Amino acid sequence: MMNKVLLIDFDDSFTYNLVGLLESLNIKVIVKHWTQVSHKLIDEYDNFILGPGPGHPNDYALLNPLMPLLVEKKVIGICLGHQILGIFLGLKLRRLESPLHGKSLPLSELGKEIVGNKIYAQFYNSWSLTSDIGSRVSGDAIYSYMDMIYYFQHFNWQGVQFHPESVGTTCPRPIMEWLIKNMYNVNYEKLPSHLWDL
């Protein structure tokens, strides 16, 4: 299981809440600013978290050439990180009519997977990945709420639009433990020769 992770910081006030959550699970966390990410740095780690952050994924286009290097790494994207991963997979991003800043939403499907009943998760986003598309993620695990994809898994990549580490999320530790477990349950014998050749 994961014992060390590189957390990519996108200038978000929740970054160190995530550090605290991960450290409570006995995971060593190394934090690097997104402008410090390089080919060499990616080679040094197996586990990554793309953290939350302000703005639109296009604001961080400096990372685009490095995304293919993460293909065979274990990656969790949170909020902005979820959107960055989703766009790389061909999902579409749309602006919400009303931003979900500080709102807790009931997530029944994901809650049943994690704790056996509904959970509440706190959202802080003005943009969302939409489920009204045909993409390379189709057929994998996707949960949506009102057309907003709030969770996806594509092999060893996962994204959550909400903040597991937020005070408005009902079960932070079980959520993070579940995400980590899922990354290690990937059946690599069934992977295509190249991860995205579906």
CA distance 37 to 12: 16
Q: Bridge-partner residues for 128, per DSSP?
A: 94
CA dist list (Å): 36 to 17, 79, 107, 161, 185: 21, 20, 35, 24, 30
Give Cα separations from 115 to 4, 17, 26, 107, 181 (angstroms): 25, 22, 21, 11, 14
Q: What is the Cα–Cα distance from 143 to 151, expressed in whole angstroms?
A: 5
The helix/strand/coil state of 112 is helix
Let me know the angle formed at the C-alpha of 52 by 44 and 84, rounded to the nearest 5 degrees: 70
Based on the residue annotation, tell me whether 109 is a catalytic residue of this protein. no
Catalytic residue chosen out of the listed positions 79, 101, 154, 177: 79
56 has catalytic annotation: no
CA atoms of 155 and 101, how far apart (whole Å)? 30
Tell me which of 163, 177, 189, 194 is the catalytic residue.
163
Catalytic residue among 44, 82, 165, 177: 165
Catalytic residue check, 79: yes
Cα pseudo-dihedral 60, 65, 67, 72, rounded to 10: -160
Q: Which residues are catalytic?
A: 79, 163, 165
